[in-house]
């Protein structure tokens, strides 16, 4: 199997951002979502090797507060902070133009980065992207309520990590979540401050979707308990150059729960 190489870049504020990569060819940047223990490699473990095999240079960053990147305490984790620190690290890594693939919070980061730096983004693949509703509406979603309530307590353990990861997927898929993924996320979660979730601040970019001129593929699980599937229609009503796909019996992790279909449809879209 192809190995990932890693590099760490110091960005504004004195923070470090870790980037992993593999492959050669057109660049795709996978931007992971939120949640205890999230990282680029774990969120896309069933995806990036297929993209490498298909002839892409895959970039897997860890957002600030996640993976092997800096995890500062006592700050607000704003969408602009996630976006600016990632953009600076990508520039230092030599990424000048890329297609952006983001799920959940990572979808919001991909949208914000495209709005801020439209010359960089070629195409967007978004899986249940966040930041297209008011933040308060997301916190009424049952999955997010469970995630925030469980993380950071003294009793947080491996079983609790599995429960939180299981909330991300449709109940029928939960038994298929590999132990290795749970353990990898647990190791990261133990190093994360509660501020990563408690002080996350995201704007509603929904009114700005019409500014996106790039081709967009949006994929969404109908049983998503984190980001309402109705969000896919925002791209349609905004007049974006968009194709939307929904999946039944799928939760918040299309790229995990339907990995083969996600890989096939996304690569076809990028090549089109």
Q: Residues 198-257: pLDDT tens digits?
A: 899 999 999 999 999 999 999 999 999 999 899 999 999 999 999 999 999 999 999 999
Residue 178's pLDDT is 92
Choose the catalytic residue: 117, 170, 252, 265: 252
With cut-offs at 50, 70 and 90, classify the pLDDT of residue 27.
very high
Q: Mean of the pLDDT values across residues 133-147?
A: 81
Q: What angle do CA 102, 48, 257 make, to 5 degrees?
A: 70
User: Could you tell me which residues come within 8 angstroms of residue 91 by beta carbon, excluding any fewer than 6 positions away?
Assistant: none
Domain boundaries, the chain: 5-271
With cut-offs at 50, 70 and 90, classify the pLDDT of residue 105.
very high
Cβ atoms of 61 and 106 closer than 8 Å:
no
Residue 204's pLDDT is 97
Dihedral of the alpha carbons of 22, 47, 169, 139, in degrees to the nearest 10? 50
Cβ atoms of 254 and 168 closer than 8 Å:
no
Q: Mean of the pLDDT values across residues 161-167?
A: 91
Q: Mean of the pLDDT values across residues 181-197?
A: 93
* Percent residues over pLDDT 70 in the chain: 96
Give me the chain's average pLDDT, please: 94
The residue count of the chain comes to 272
Residue 148 pLDDT exceeds 70: no
Q: Cα–Cα distance between 237 and 206 in angstroms, integer?
A: 10
Residue 142's pLDDT is 78
Count of C-beta atoms within a 10 Å radius of residue 140: 10
With cut-offs at 50, 70 and 90, classify the pLDDT of residue 153.
low
Residue 156's pLDDT is 81
Residue 122's pLDDT is 98
- 5-271 sits in which CATH class? alpha beta
Residue 140's pLDDT is 80
Residue 152 pLDDT exceeds 60: no
Residue 149's pLDDT is 56
Q: Which residues of 47-81 are buried (b: 16+ CB within 10 A; e: fewer)?
A: bbbbbbebebbbbbbbbbbbbbbbbbeeeebebeb
* 252 in catalytic set: yes
Residue 117 pLDDT exceeds 60: yes
With cut-offs at 50, 70 and 90, classify the pLDDT of residue 129.
very high
């Amino acid at each position: 199997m192809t190995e990932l190489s890693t590099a760490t870049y110091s960005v504004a504020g004195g923070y470090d951002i870790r980037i992993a990569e593999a492959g050669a060819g057109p660049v795709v940047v996978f931007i992971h979502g939120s949640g205890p223990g999230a990282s680029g490699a774990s969120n896309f473990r069933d995806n990036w090797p297929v993209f490498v095999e298909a002839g892409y240079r895959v970039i897997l960053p860890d957002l600030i507060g996640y993976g092997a990147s800096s995890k500062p305490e006592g700050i607000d984790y704003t969408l602009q902070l996630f976006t600016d620190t990632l953009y600076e690290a990508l520039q230092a890594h030599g990424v000048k133009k890329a297609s952006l693939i983001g799920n959940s919070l990572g979808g919001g980061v991909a949208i914000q980065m495209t709005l801020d730096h439209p010359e960089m983004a070629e195409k967007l693949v978004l899986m249940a992207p966040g930041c297209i509703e008011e933040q308060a509406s997301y916190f009424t979603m049952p999955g997010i309520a469970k995630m925030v309530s469980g993380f950071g307590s003294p009793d947080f353990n491996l079983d609790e990590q599995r429960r939180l990861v299981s909330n991300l997927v449709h109940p029928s898929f939960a038994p298929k979540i590999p132990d290795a993924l749970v353990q990898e996320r647990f190791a990261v979660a133990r190093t994360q401050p509660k501020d990563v979730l408690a002080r996350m601040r995201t704007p509603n970019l929904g009114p700005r979707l019409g500014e996106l001129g790039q081709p967009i593929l949006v994929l969404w699980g109908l049983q998503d308990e984190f980001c309402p599937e109705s969000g896919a229609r925002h791209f349609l009503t905004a007049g974006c150059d968009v194709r939307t796909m929904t999946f039944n019996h799928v939760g918040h992790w299309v790229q995990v729960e339907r990995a083969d279909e996600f890989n096939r449809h996304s690569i076809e879209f990028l090549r089109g």
